[in-house]
Amino acid sequence: MSLTHNLSLRHLTDVEERVAHYRSVAAPDAVNLSTAENVLLFDFYQAHLFDAARPFTAGDLRYPPKFYGSDAFRSSWAGFLNQAWGHGDLLTAQDVFAVGGTSAALECLAFILGTPGDVAISPAPLWYGFPWSFAQRPRVSFVPFDLLEKGIDKFELTLEDVKRACLSVQPQPKFLVLTNPRNPLGGNYSPETLNAIYKWVLEETRMHIISDEIYFFSQVGGGEPFVPAFALDAVREAGEDGRERVHAVWGLAKDFGMSGFKVGFVISRNQKVHALMSGDASLRTMAWFTPFDSLKYRTLAPLFLDGDGLPDPALAQQAMQLYAGPEASSLLGTQYAATREALASARLKFLDHNSSAIFFWLDLREFLDRVPPPDGSERQALHKALHPDIDPREERLSEYITASSGVSLIPGQECFSREPGFFRMCYTAEPKDRVVKGIERMGRSLHALLTPQRVSA
């Protein structure tokens, strides 16, 4: 390893890009529990989507009929979401626009509804991609806020937290961004909390609410029920002005396990969003810059259309039933149970309400001050370039975990966690056996830090 690699990491904004580059250089065999990916449906896709008997045609490489999805696709997506959400009247085909990923969907909403200098706020810990989705091109300032009302280490959002954030930010925020289910914490917000927040925002402010619901199928039961933004009482009872200030984004990256395929959706009943996403004779659709392209049309047709090209999401519904259906044998349920058991056996603490999304939020604070001082090795210098802006103790613990157990995690401060010592672990990024074995090794190496021999080293 040379310091050339060390320096190159500093040019990568996305921490998951840095981790991937680091692993390819310094830890190619590491168990990847850092990247928010989902490998559980690959065999299903091998059987149903990647069909060698369905050869490409010249038409598959031509411009698509619409850059945000054909009428048939949009009708199928709206019907699929209405059925999944348990409400047949929430969306129409005109409310759903496909783009090249959920980050692109966020960016489209920021461009359409915001102006440079506007402010977006979001409760921390949060997905580290939000700031550049809003700020990199739309030039909207992005401000995370801490959850203080019930305690900084409880990670519970309240209406009081939202009010405090709104009053402390100038100019007054234009957007409140919520992730439900939550990344990196796992778990759904309670309907009571969401209704209180949405009611206050829609009645007392002029803010727009953007709900990132990309993990909504990833439910393992036992926690707060998932309620989509459009189904909340506070939204359904709001006037037209209020309903036009609620938007959602969704995509196929997480629940459907297609993170590299880049398919996301802008979901809104706002007329300005409709106009700018559709485009007209004088204005290109926003999707022109991040399209639902012809290869996506071809690949996803079996999931959402029938053999005649008409709306039919039966295969998509089958995939989600296999992935996260109510049976204990669902792919996600089995993976979750094995991961939870492995963490308990390894005596590793975690936030105990992760009934949804694909993460465990690990509490490793007891090991934070136990890592030996750095020895100045080139490997440690390279790893430090992964996380140059976090607490040095958390960075050293992260490096120790990778070096001693061959497991990569995301340090919590990369997710804007104020207190060091928390880590995000994605339990669907690797096959079950590798996840369990990685956790076993991680538990042994971490608890070795607590022995007198390790402390005195």
User: CA end-to-end span of the chain, whole Å?
Assistant: 26
**Residue 33 contacts residue 435 (beta carbons within 8 Å):** yes
Q: What backbone phi and psi angles, to 5 degrees, belong to 267?
A: -125, 115
Q: Give tens-digit pLDDT for 241-274.
A: 888 999 999 999 999 999 999 999 999 999 999 9
Q: What angle do CA 249, 250, 256 make, to 5 degrees?
A: 165
pLDDT at 457: 40
Q: Give tens-digit pLDDT for 161-191.
A: 999 999 999 999 999 999 999 999 999 999 9
Q: How far apart are CA 260 and CA 410, in angstroms?
A: 19
More confident position, 414 or 329: 414
Confidence of residue 66 (pLDDT cuts 50, 70, 90): very high
Cβ atoms < 10 Å from Cβ of 437: 16
Strand order in the sheet with 359-363: 349-350, 359-363, 422-426, 410-411
Q: Is the pLDDT of residue 384 over 90?
A: no
Q: How far apart are CA 272 and CA 290, in angstroms?
A: 18
Q: Is the pLDDT of residue 359 over 60?
A: yes
Q: What is the pTM of this model?
A: 0.93
pLDDT at 454: 44
Is residue 251 exposed (0-12), middle (13-18) or buried (19+ Cβ within 10 Å)? buried
pLDDT at 437: 98
Non-local CB neighbours of 35 within 8 Å, separated by 6+ positions: 16, 19, 20, 259, 426, 429
Q: Give tens-digit pLDDT for 2-38.
A: 544 554 666 666 777 777 777 667 667 889 999 999 9
In this structure, the chain runs to a length of 457
Q: How far apart are CA 59 and CA 87, in angstroms?
A: 36
Find tokens 């340090």 and name the residue.
411
Q: Is the pLDDT of residue 338 over 60?
A: yes
